[in-house]
A and B are shown apart, each in its own frame.
Chain A
């Protein structure tokens, strides 16, 4: 067999072997599973048609107050595993807890499944209410016993998670 053929085969075989390794790594790259982080805002903006049922639902909800000027516009998670998550405040009730249908699903051993909710009252003032959680909800340093108005920027602590309202 000619030297040239054997050299080509030798290098070709190495190339094929490495190609297999590279393809295998590509398969791993496309094989991600576990949890997925979705930015809902972007998706909604692209599909305005989907907004219709959402609006209907909100109209069905009782007493949608107008947003107050100078009030908070977003809720920010500032500590805990969800740090950096923001939720726009648009008059809807925000539920917090480990239950999968919560607005913010807390992955926190110290949170109850339906831990607390944050909602606007008739004047548009945001209120936090503890829903009978085991470990309690803290506004600044005080444990909540009754629904309490939330000052701008005051930390609300649930387990290891801290959230606050911001402009």
Chain B
């Protein structure tokens, strides 16, 4: 008689500890921006830029410290997030340095050279990343601060209203002599925490207490309250701060998380209807938004008079790059007017100098980062962690969509920063913190489950001598 039972078993498999993979990828991710840096120097000045070794060692040092901290405090974390974030940040620094070499976009009025400042902010951001990994032992601690986060998010969103508008949008808190910070970047993290905590408690009420009408689940009136409040707040931001991008980000984040928490398609339909209706009304009334929409619908309208809109210039930039690009340092993105060439329109420089191939690679890197976040959400064992991972990664996905969609002409151009790539201190700090929280969740999710306690009846019966 054969001894084997011919059975198929399905057993849980823990994720392996992938820290060495992370280290190898991280070295790769530090080498690529250095290559780009050398390329810019060779193209612009005919020589490898001075300080190349110093910058390389500095960047490698920061990456190594971040890696060692992850190795010590989050040993099971995802191996891809840190290298991808490092690569994008390094590429962003090189692109800003490259644009600093153009005198016409580095005038004192535009803030002079931006790369040193961005380097400083990146260093601070990595320090914050390390602090989050070290001090946030468990992401579930954030669950205790659900309503505090809600209040903080509201405060962060409202605060810029009391400061003067910069370039037509009230997005900044300006502290004279120190600089300006963009609280909206931090608001997306705090909002994701609030939504996760709120929806974790309310998901059943939102999903189950509904009436069926024409094949859709209609939520009860009182359950609609929160979504209407969030909608009103984001429309308020759109009207008062005249920023279309943030509105899309916050409202989109809320609809995505609501859908993930309740599995009800009707929320997406409602969300799209509300957002579409609101945007149409505001687009017809607000002059700032109206200009953007007109530029989007007809970017070439002023060209005949010699007044090409920024939207048109950005598209020319992409066009002149072609498939393989003109090469780093050899494009003409300095010709894009306005102030956004190093921040909002940095993807146009990627498009011109690295071509379609480069833009696709960069977008794929964002895609991989978001995918790792979603994978973390799937693997997370607690509902709060699941929702938070979905929220953080979809916030990043929506932000990339809004920026990339804006510069490529899919949606109206809005003032938002490309995460990690674009010049902007608040943005780079907030996004490193976001990646740190995702890493913390993925460490908890991938950590092997503790061995189950032995069941009492599996122990052999023993004779106990008294």
Interface of chain B residues 71 through 116 with chain A (CB within 8 A):
79-80, 83-84, 87
Q: Is the CB of A45 within 8 A of B11?
A: no
CB of B451, distance to nearest CB on chain A (Å) = 11
Q: Is the CB of A13 within 8 A of B9?
A: no
* A–B pairs, 5, beta carbons within 8 Å: A24-B25, A36-B13, A39-B8, A51-B2, A90-B1
Given the interface pairs A14-B358, A24-B80, A28-B80, the reply to whether A87 lies near B3 with Cβ below 8 Å is: no
Binding site for A on B (CB under 8 A): 1-16, 18, 21, 25, 28-29, 31-32, 35-36, 38-39, 42-43, 46, 79-80, 83-84, 87, 324-328, 330, 354-355, 357-358, 361-362, 364-365, 368, 371-372, 379, 446, 452, 458
Instruction: Select from chain A the residue with minimum beta-carbon distance to B354.
Output: A14
CB of A11, distance to nearest CB on chain B (Å) = 7
Interface of chain A residues 1 through 50 with chain B (CB within 8 A):
1, 5-7, 9-14, 16-18, 20-21, 23-25, 27-28, 31-41, 44-45
Q: Is the CB of A40 within 8 A of B4?
A: yes
Count A interface residues, CB 8 Å: 52
CB-defined contacts of A146 to chain B, threshold 8 Å: none
Interface of chain A residues 57 through 87 with chain B (CB within 8 A):
58, 74, 82, 85-87
Given the interface pairs A9-B39, A74-B6, A104-B7, the reply to whether A21 lies near B328 with Cβ below 8 Å is: no
Interface centre among B10, B15, B29, B326 (most CB of A within 10 A): B10
Q: Is the CB of B21 within 8 A of A27?
A: yes
Contact with B42, one of A6, A31, A88, A101 (Cβ below 8 angstroms) = A6
Closest 3 pairs between A and B when the two form their complex, measured CB to CB: A33-B15, A10-B327, A88-B6
Q: Is the CB of A23 within 8 A of B25?
A: yes
Q: Is the CB of A35 within 8 A of B327?
A: no
Q: Is the CB of B79 within 8 A of A31?
A: yes
Q: Is the CB of A1 within 8 A of B16?
A: no
CB of B196, distance to nearest CB on chain A (Å) = 22
Contact with B35, one of A6, A7, A13, A51 (Cβ below 8 angstroms) = A13
CB of B119, distance to nearest CB on chain A (Å) = 21
Q: Is the CB of B39 within 8 A of A105?
A: no
- Within the assembled complex, what's the spacing in Å between the Cα atoms of A100 and B368? 35
CB-defined contacts of A107 to chain B, threshold 8 Å: 10
- Within the assembled complex, what's the spacing in Å between the Cα atoms of A54 and B21? 39
Q: Is the CB of A41 within 8 A of B324?
A: no
Interface centre among B4, B21, B379 (most CB of A within 10 A): B4
CB of B332, distance to nearest CB on chain A (Å) = 15
Q: Is the CB of B12 within 8 A of A34?
A: yes
Given the interface pairs A16-B35, A27-B25, A33-B14, the reply to whether A10 lies near B325 with Cβ below 8 Å is: yes
CB-defined contacts of A12 to chain B, threshold 8 Å: 35
Instruction: Select from chain B the residue with minimum beta-carbon distance to A45.
Output: B4
- Within the assembled complex, what's the spacing in Å between the Cα atoms of A24 and B46? 33
Q: Is the CB of A27 within 8 A of B35?
A: no
